[in-house]
Amino acid sequence: MKRRSTMSKTRARYFLRLFGRIVILLIGVLTYIFDKEQFDVAKGWNFFHSLSLMHLLWGIWLWDMILQLMPVKAHISIGSQKIFESLFRPIKEKINHQNLKKYIKDTTAAAYEVMVIWVALTVVLSLLHVTGIIDTGLMILISIFFYVCDLICVLIWCPFRLIMKNKCCTTCRIFNWDHLMMFLPIVAVNSFYSWSLVVFSFIIWLIWELCVFIYPERFWENSNMALKCSECTDKLCTQYCRKLRKQAK
């Protein structure tokens, strides 16, 4: 009789984070309904005028981004930590640099297809906000919604795989694009609250993109052993990807 595989600590931790984000979304919705003024700190320079729950959320988001700049493998998936030399495990064989270059070229082309789609969404949301159809509070709620969707993509199903063609988040070319994608739509709010998040997430994105082109070998499973299915310890994969991992052993 086969033993049922147990959930990895990383996957369990990410499910707890997903639960926490869902709670934050519910609190945000209730706050929007019953105490909408809490969202006023996201307007102009109101961030410095009074305290609200939105300050706590801003701090959580900022801390999440700071963690992406530190090699903390015990708490974050290797898919997000590929940029760090300390977590890079080069293959024993010689790296095929021609294939590596093609891989980076192909995945980058797919990545920027995603970016075009997201910029288009940002433009639509910005127009809705500027014209008064969507207010500031609702714009922040949209970011919180994307905050939840981020981990749904990691743990359950990711629509961007249809474009990226990656088999799992560990090998995903755009893993650390998450915060930029979460906050870019609120750029039209045009306040300290929104711009501080957008600018910091842009820095995270820029560091990631620079590393892709300076250290491409860290992003390809055929040059970085840590990304291979057979070496996976995160086990964040869905059922489909678990089958791929078994085939790779």
Per residue in 71-113, pLDDT tens?
A: 876 678 888 999 999 889 999 889 999 999 999 999 999 999 9
Residue 224 maps to a domain: yes
Residue 2 maps to a domain: no
Per residue in 161-173, pLDDT tens?
A: 889 988 888 899 9
Mean pLDDT over each residue of the chain, to the nearest integer: 90
C-alpha dihedral sign at 106, 71, 196, 51: positive
What is the reported pLDDT for 163? 92
What domain range includes position 47?
Answer: 9-248
Per residue in 45-82, pLDDT tens?
A: 999 998 999 999 999 999 999 989 888 766 788 889 99
What is the reported pLDDT for 36? 94
CA 202 to CA 100: how far, in whole Å?
26
For residue 94, the 8-state DSSP code is P
- CB proximity list for 188: less than 8 A, separation 6 or greater: 122, 125, 126, 129, 130, 139, 194
Residue 4 maps to a domain: no
Residue 1 maps to a domain: no
Residue 81 maps to a domain: yes
Question: pTM higher than 0.75 for the full model?
Answer: yes
Residue 3 maps to a domain: no
CA 193 to CA 201: how far, in whole Å?
13
Residue 18 maps to a domain: yes
CA 135 to CA 157: how far, in whole Å?
30
| Counted domains in the chain | 1
Per residue in 125-136, pLDDT tens?
A: 999 999 999 999
